């Protein structure tokens, strides 16, 4: 994690769809 905290974590467009499909707060591993 070299990205600054105020920018937040990098979210790829493809990953965003996968994250949206999950329940909010769900901590399952997302394969990348």
Task: Read off the pTM.
Answer: 0.26
Say if residue 29's pLDDT is above 60.
yes
Domain extents in the chain: 1-32
Q: What is the pLDDT of residues 7-23, one digit of tens each?
A: 666 667 677 676 666 66
pLDDT at position 31 over 60: yes
- Contact status, residue 32 vs residue 15, Cβ threshold 8 Å: yes
pLDDT band at residue 5 using 50, 70 and 90 as cut-offs: low
Residue 1 has pLDDT above 60, yes or no: no
pLDDT computed for residue 14 by the predictor: 72
Query: Look-up: residue for tokens 């105020």?
Result: 6
Q: How many distinct helices (H) and strands (E) make up the chain?
A: 1, 0
User: What is the pLDDT, as a whole number, of residue 2?
Assistant: 56
């Amino acid at each position: 994690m070299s990205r600054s905290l105020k920018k937040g974590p990098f979210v790829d467009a493809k990953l965003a769809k996968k994250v949206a499909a999950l329940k909010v707060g769900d901590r399952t591993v997302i394969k990348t």
